[in-house]
Each structure stands twice: as structure tokens, then as C-alpha cells.
Amino acid sequence: MVGHGNICRIKMAKTSSIPTAKRQRAPRQAELPLRRHGGRRAGAGRKPKHGVAGVGHGPRGVLAARFPALVTMKLLRGLPRLREAAARRVLLAAFAAAGERPDARFRVVHFAILNDHLHLLVEAADRGGLARGLQGLAIRIARTLNKLWTRKGRVWADRYHDRVLKTPREVRNALVYVLQNGRKHAAEGREIRVEQPIDVYSSAPWFDGFREEVRVRGLPDAPAPVARPRTWLLSRGWRRHGLLSVDERPGNG
């Protein structure tokens, strides 16, 4: 009996040594830090193409049919220069085709061809007409330039940049900027040569708003590759601030 009693006491001792609270406590799940999305943080946002910041993706300004627009289209890096005779022929044909229909909702009125980008003064019926017209123009130019350069792939570096022009002063400044941009680059030594009073890689030879009488050598007698302006601002309104001079240079910007 003593032996059995010892056994019972040992078993009871083992049983009573387990705390009641531990037997009833539910297991706790470990808390993990939550990753929250959104909000301003370093490195957030869409990364620029090819490591170079391009045109922002914010909403563009409203465009009415009475306002012309100044457009810039940039070439992809590493491609041949646009200021070559063969590329110039391709571009002039594309500009002419953009406004050849009388009811065209998009027209190229003036242009400047630089080594790696284009400046355009255009008219469009509205923002949609501008977007579709520039898209068609960009595709046409890309296809023909790729054929000329015997290559495939993208030609344009990023979205086009545009600025809506709403006053005669803005339009006159834009005309100086486009028609005389080549001469400005040449004066700055930026690998561009302009050997005549006006740049033949622009629409200046077909422009009738210079104060001086201008004669261009070596340019074939061909129809203008650009459309005649239909907006009051681009046809007559800018003249309120005086005709252009071949010696004018665009400002920075």
C-alpha cells in the first residue's frame, strides 16, 4: 500500500505542476508589419524612357480651332541626322500629305528640321484632331525614314510636346522660334550650318512675312510643302506686332 501511495503522490505532483492558465491560453499570432501602397515616397512613379525624363503625362491644355499650336517631336538617340537631303525630302512629303485634303482636321503650317528633332506650327479642329493628326504624321515619317535608313523599330523618343498659342504676340514669337531656330543653333556652334539668310531646312523659303526681300539659291521651284494658315492668329493676327526680320533670333526656351 505504501508503494502504491507513493506512485499516486508522484502522479499527482506531476499533474499539479502544470499551470492552469497555460492550458487555457490560446496561441497568439505574430504581428507582421503591413506594406502599404500609395503615397509619396522616394523612387516612386513611372520611370523615364531610356533613363531620360521626357514629356509629362499630365492633361494637355484645351485646344480650340481658332488657336494654332507649337509642337516639338524628338528623334530617338543614335539615329541618323534629319538635316540631310534625303531625310528632308521624306519630311517635306509627309508635311504636304498632312494637309492635302481641303477638309483636313490637322495641318502643318510651318516647320523647322533640326538634327534630332522637329519644330512644327500646326492647326487642328480640336485636341482630338491634333492628337490623331500628329499620330498619323509620326507613323508616316517613321515608316519612310526606316525605309530610307534600312532599319526597323522605333523612331520617336517620347510623346510630342505642344503649346497652344492664344495671342498675336505668342504666335509671332513662335514664328521666330520655328523659322529661325536653325540659324540660332548655327550661331551657337551646335553642328548645324545655315549658309543663307534663311534656313532651307525650315518653311522660311515659303514664308511671306519677312520685312526683307529674300532669295534662296539652289531650291527647286516646287509647291509649298505646308498648308496655308486658316486661323486668324497665324494668318494675320501676328502681324499686329510687325513683320519678321531675317536677323531676328529666338530667345531661350
State whether the Cα torsion 142-144-148-152 is positive or negative: positive
**What integer is the mean pLDDT of 205-217?**
90
Q: 111, 82 in Cβ contact below 8 A? A: no
- d(Cα 121, Cα 163) in Å, to the nearest integer? 10
Give the model's pLDDT for residue 219: 75
**What integer is the mean pLDDT of 226-249?**
95
pLDDT band at 15 (very low <50, low <70, confident <90, very high): very low
What confidence tens digit (pLDDT) does each residue in 142-166 have?
999 999 999 999 999 988 999 999 9
**What integer is the mean pLDDT of 195-215?**
91
Residue the block writes with cell 514664308: 207
- d(Cα 44, Cα 38) in Å, to the nearest integer? 9
More confident residue, 63 or 22: 63
What share of the chain in percent tops pLDDT 90? Answer: 57
Give the model's pLDDT for residue 157: 92
- d(Cα 10, Cα 93) in Å, to the nearest integer? 105
Element (H, E) at 119: strand 117-124
**What integer is the mean pLDDT of 231-253?**
90
- d(Cα 144, Cα 207) in Å, to the nearest integer? 26
Give the model's pLDDT for residue 192: 82
Instruction: Kindly list the distances between the CA atom of residue 56 and the CA atoms of 46, 50, 124, 214, in Å, as whole numbers in the listed order.
Output: 10, 15, 22, 39
Give the model's pLDDT for residue 104: 79
What share of the chain in percent tops pLDDT 70? Answer: 74
Cα-Cα-Cα-Cα torsion 46, 49, 54, 58, nearest 10 degrees, comes to -30
pLDDT surpasses 50 at 247: yes
Residue 181 CB neighbour total at 10 angstroms:
22
Average the pLDDT over each of 7-11, 87-91, 111-115 and give the range with the smallest value: 7-11
pLDDT band at 112 (very low <50, low <70, confident <90, very high): very high
pLDDT band at 183 (very low <50, low <70, confident <90, very high): confident
Mean pLDDT over the full length of the chain: 81
Query: For the domain 61-241, what is the CATH code?
Result: 3.30.70.1290
Give the model's pLDDT for residue 191: 73
**What integer is the mean pLDDT of 71-89?**
95
**What integer is the mean pLDDT of 215-221?**
77
- d(Cα 149, Cα 132) in Å, to the nearest integer? 25
Give the model's pLDDT for residue 99: 77
Give the model's pLDDT for residue 214: 85
Q: 250, 110 in Cβ contact below 8 A? A: no
**What integer is the mean pLDDT of 201-228?**
88
pLDDT surpasses 50 at 208: yes
The three-class DSSP label of residue 96 is helix
More confident residue, 154 or 214: 154
Q: 194, 214 in Cβ contact below 8 A? A: no
